[in-house]
Amino acid sequence: MLQIVRGKALCVGDNIDTDRIYPSRYIELTCDAAMAKHALEGIEASLPPRLASYGILVAGRNFGCGSSREHAPRSLKAAGIRLILAASFARIFYRNAINLGLPATTVAPQMEVHEEDALVVDITQGLIMNLTRHTQHVCGAITGFPADVLASGGLLKHLRGTMMNTHELQ
């Protein structure tokens, strides 16, 4: 897992549900490249091809509410989002993101970040540097089991590694 994530901020609002993140009409797509073409299409149709140029998604409260489908965080990761910062997450979206290897953490609702601000985020220390505005903020540090899962590249890779290590010890 990258400890430091750099990117431009793409800002979205409160209560962004999973159908706006990844519209359900594309649910049959299973290829990451195909899914990436529709990430955040429910917010703005022109966003999907531009997501990789941002890298950091900054959201308000209750990001990822709605269904429990993992398509939403998977499509964001496939589209080039490397970190999600939000005032709060729907719990299952947050776990799906971590399980898929996409770092997600909380920020203060009043944190001032504008579209295209250049950010440098230390996700293990919980520090955000806004290079555009010359400000510094705190975010939730990702530690413990979620950090281990992210370091492995996702839950399945983490479990495989744990099982292999356990098997090697026997």
pLDDT tens figures, 108-146: 999 999 999 999 999 999 999 999 999 999 999 999 999
Residue 145 structural domain: 4-169
Identify the helix (H) or strand (E) that includes residue 151.
helix 144-152
The candidate with the shortest Cα–Cα distance to 123, out of 6, 4, 28, 36, is 4
Does the pLDDT value for residue 164 go beyond 70?
no
Region 84-96: mean pLDDT is 97
Does the pLDDT value for residue 167 go beyond 70?
no
Region 39-59: mean pLDDT is 94
The pLDDT of residue 170 is: 47
The pLDDT of residue 169 is: 46
DSSP 89: B
What's the pTM?
A: 0.92
pLDDT tens figures, 9-48: 999 999 999 999 999 999 999 999 999 999 999 999 999 9
DSSP for 46-67 reads: TSGGGHHHHEEEEE-TTBTBS-
Asked if 93 and 75 count as a contact pair (C-beta separation under 8 A), the reply is no
CATH code (residue 86): 3.20.19.10
Domain count, the chain: 1
Q: Across the chain, what does the average pLDDT equal?
A: 93
